[in-house]
Structure 1
Amino acid sequence: MKFLAITLITHLPDPVTGVQRSTTDAYRAVVDNAVLAEELGFDGYGVGERHERPFISSSPPVVLSHIAARTERIRLFTTVTILSLLDPVRAYEDYATLDHLSGGRLELIIGKGNGTAQRDLFAVTPEDQWARNAEGYELFRRLWREERVTWSGRFRPALVEAEVWPRPLQQPVRVWHGSATSRESVDLAARYGDPLFSANVTHAIEPYAALVDHYRERWVAHGHDPADAVVGAGTAGYLAAPTSQEAVSRYRPVFEAGLAGLTRAGLTPSFTTLEDHVERSSALVGSPAQIVEKVHRYHARLGHTVLHVHADGAGLTPAEHRTNLELFQSDIAPVLRRTIPDPPWPGTPTPTPDRRPAPVPVG
């Protein structure tokens, strides 16, 4: 099994101290956490994309480029790239550039995104967001693989023998499809033979497992080998301690702050008590042995071989946050690596030649 640490760069007061970092300090913490994740042995680090409160993660390529300069080994993920909002040509340019700057460590998780405010910001409607996501991915995929592209669609101007630079380092970059509650992303992943990443955060396991089952069914229907399907899954939170009582006690203010935020937003929480949240959600809160058991229980239903945990350490001091992640790597990850198989995992890519014609001398 492989492990990602991820952040959505949520910009809120700390649930214990009530102190809110400045925007600058929040970004610095994201980069420092990526460096820590690499140091401790995580396989990937993910940065989300959101264009509305309370997130400040509107520019993942910029953040990941800085992380690329501070790290050497860890894979760099987008969690997720919202293609329904983006021009796929511009997205390709940003991420192909990042792929070079990172030495070919980029992986994309794409999705249609959610949230009314960000849809309004980009003039995307609920009726067309799925079509925009599918069309954007079709073009993005071709741009990554073809040196000249002729294409037409509904949501951007047509291309005729278009060349888009730079050509990427990885041929091709691996693209996952993020899935939360709808079948559209699942169908798209199965159609193209791409891996699936289940959000697995807000609800109990049943709706996510149903989507993963649908993915595997559609995967076979599209003629792919069932053994080649790769699934990742998220978690609703992480805090480990020597005993479950200590873990639950330390996690309580984090849960209560999240519950209060949902109430302020007028949303109905899936879990109204911490005890129910720990028992029935995907949150990994407890002793190392309890967390290992829970991941195995979820793996039996989802068959996932990649797992993400939250990288931010909300409610913890920097020292406590480090200890929490160290405990994951010392007592949890080794057991899961032994008992759950690894997915295919890219190594160092072979650079592709830049076939752009040499400039003609002037004068």
Structure 2
Amino acid sequence: MKFLAITLIVHRPDPTTGVQKSTHERFREVLDNALLAEELGFDGFGVGERHERPFISSSPTVVLSHIAALTRRIRLFTAVTTLSLLDPVRAYEDYATLDHLSGGRLDLIIGKGNGTAQRELFHVTPEDQWERNAESYEVFRQLWRQDKVTARTRFRPELRDAEVWPRPYQQPIRVWHGSATSKESVDLAARYGDPLFSANVTNPIEPYAELIRYYRERWEHYGHDPADIAVGAGTAGLYVAPTTQEALAAYRPVFESNLAFQQQVGLPIVFETLEDYVERSSALIGSPQQVIDKVHRYHEQFGHTVLHLHADASSLTDRQHRDSLELFQSAVTPVLRKDIPDPPFGWGPVLPEPASAADH
């Protein structure tokens, strides 16, 4: 199993203290968390893309480029690239450049994105967002694979023998499809034989498990080998402590402040108590053995081989956050790496096979 640390770069007052860091401090925190993830042995670090409050993750290519310059090993993920809002040509240019600068350490997770404010900002409607996402992905996919592209498009000017530079480093880049609530993105992933990444954050397990089952059905429908399926899954929160009691005591103020914030802004409340949250959500809160057992329970439903965790401390202290991540990496990760297989592809750059002697 592979492990990612992911941030959406939420920028709002700390729900416990009421203090809000400056924008500069918040970006510095993201860079520090990326360095910590590499130091602790995480396999990937992801940055989201949002174009509305309370997020400041509107330029993931810029943030990831800076992280690429500070790191050497860790793979870089987008979480997610909102292709329904973007011109696929411009997105290709940005990500191909980033892929070169990172030495082929880039993976994309794409999705339609969500949120009324960012849809209105880009003049995207609920009715056309799925078609925009599919069209943008199809053009993006062609651009990464072909030197010249002709494409009849509905949401941007048509391409006729278009050349777009720079040409790619990875050939091709790996693209995961983010899945949260709808079968459209799941079907798109299955159609092209691409890996799926389940959000697995807001609700109990069943709606996500249902979409993953549908993905597996559509994968076989499109004629792909079931052995090539790769699924990733998110988590709603993380706090690992030596004992259950310590974990619950440390995380309770975080849960209660987040619950108060959800009530304040009118978000639907899915888990009303910390105990229910720990039991029925994807949050990994407890002793190392509890966390191991819970990941296994989810794996029985999902069959996932990649897991993402929160890169941010949120309302935890920096010391609590680091201690939790260190304990996860020392006591949880080795067991899960042994018990659960890796994805059915290499974790390094996706490069052309070297020519054999028979080719000459």
TM-score normalised by L of structure 2: 0.96
The residue that corresponds to 1:211 in the other structure is 211
- CA-based RMSD of the aligned residues comes to 1.2
Identity %: 73
The residue that corresponds to 1:324 in the other structure is 324
Determine whether 1:35 maps to 2:35: yes
Q: Which runs of 5+ in 1 are unaligned?
A: 353-363
The residue that corresponds to 2:181 in the other structure is 181
DSSP 3-state at the match of 2:270: coil
Deviation for aligned residue 1:171? 0.2
The residue that corresponds to 2:315 in the other structure is 315
Most deviating of 93-102 and 310-319 = 310-319
The residue that corresponds to 1:358 in the other structure is none
Deviation for aligned residue 1:266? 1.7
DSSP 3-state at the match of 2:109: strand
In structure 2, what is the Cα distance between the partners aligned to 1:10 and 1:162?
37
- Pairing of 1:210-249 with structure 2 (within 5 A): 210-249=210-249
Stretches of 4+ moved more than 3 A in 1? 348-352
Q: Which amino acid aligns with 1:105?
A: R
User: Does the Cα contact within 8 Å between 2:254 and 2:316 map onto a contact in 1?
Assistant: no
Q: Deviations 1:226-282 (Å, cap 9, x if unpaired)?
A: 111100000000001111111111111221222222222222121111110100000
User: Does the Cα contact within 8 Å between 2:201 and 2:236 map onto a contact in 1?
Assistant: yes
User: Does the Cα contact within 8 Å between 1:169 and 1:351 map onto a contact in 2?
Assistant: no
Determine whether 1:153 maps to 2:160: no
User: Does the Cα contact within 8 Å between 2:174 and 2:350 map onto a contact in 1?
Assistant: no
The residue that corresponds to 2:286 in the other structure is 286
DSSP 3-state at the match of 1:54: coil
The residue that corresponds to 2:49 in the other structure is 49
DSSP 3-state at the match of 1:84: helix
User: Does the Cα contact within 8 Å between 1:109 and 1:175 map onto a contact in 2?
Assistant: yes
Q: Which amino acid aligns with 1:229?
A: I
Q: Which amino acid aligns with 1:345?
A: G
The residue that corresponds to 2:168 in the other structure is 168
In structure 1, what is the Cα distance between the partners aligned to 2:117 and 2:346?
36
In structure 1, what is the Cα distance between the partners aligned to 2:23 and 2:307?
28
- Pairing of 1:233-272 with structure 2 (within 5 A): 233-272=233-272
The residue that corresponds to 2:15 in the other structure is 15
DSSP 3-state at the match of 2:100: helix
User: Does the Cα contact within 8 Å between 2:172 and 2:351 map onto a contact in 1?
Assistant: no
Quick one: structure 1 residues 345 and 16, their matched pair in 2 at CA, closer, same or farther if it must change by over 3 Å? farther
Quick one: structure 1 residues 158 and 95, their matched pair in 2 at CA, closer, same or farther if it must change by over 3 Å? same
DSSP 3-state at the match of 1:253: helix
The residue that corresponds to 2:346 in the other structure is 345
DSSP 3-state at the match of 2:84: coil
In structure 2, what is the Cα distance between the partners aligned to 1:63 and 1:273?
35
Determine whether 1:98 maps to 2:101: no
User: Does the Cα contact within 8 Å between 2:173 and 2:350 map onto a contact in 1?
Assistant: no
In structure 2, what is the Cα distance between the partners aligned to 1:317 and 1:299?
30
Deviation for aligned residue 1:349? 4.9
Most deviating of 309-318 and 110-119 = 309-318
Deviation for aligned residue 1:168? 1.1
Q: Which runs of 5+ in 2 are unaligned?
A: 354-360
User: Does the Cα contact within 8 Å between 1:15 and 1:253 map onto a contact in 2?
Assistant: no
- Pairing of 1:291-306 with structure 2 (within 5 A): 291-306=291-306
In structure 2, what is the Cα distance between the partners aligned to 1:61 and 1:255?
31
In structure 1, what is the Cα distance between the partners aligned to 2:217 and 2:242?
40
User: Does the Cα contact within 8 Å between 1:239 and 1:247 map onto a contact in 2?
Assistant: yes
Quick one: structure 1 residues 258 and 321, their matched pair in 2 at CA, closer, same or farther if it must change by over 3 Å? same
User: Does the Cα contact within 8 Å between 1:99 and 1:170 map onto a contact in 2?
Assistant: yes
Q: Which amino acid aligns with 2:330?
A: S
In structure 1, what is the Cα distance between the partners aligned to 2:112 and 2:42?
27
User: Does the Cα contact within 8 Å between 1:112 and 1:129 map onto a contact in 2?
Assistant: yes
Q: Deviations 1:53-108 (Å, cap 9, x if unpaired)?
A: 11111110000000000000000000000000000000000000000010000000
Q: Which amino acid aligns with 2:347?
A: P
Q: Deviations 1:291-342 (Å, cap 9, x if unpaired)?
A: 0000000000100000000000112222222111111100000000000001
In structure 2, what is the Cα distance between the partners aligned to 1:351 and 1:19?
50
DSSP 3-state at the match of 2:104: coil
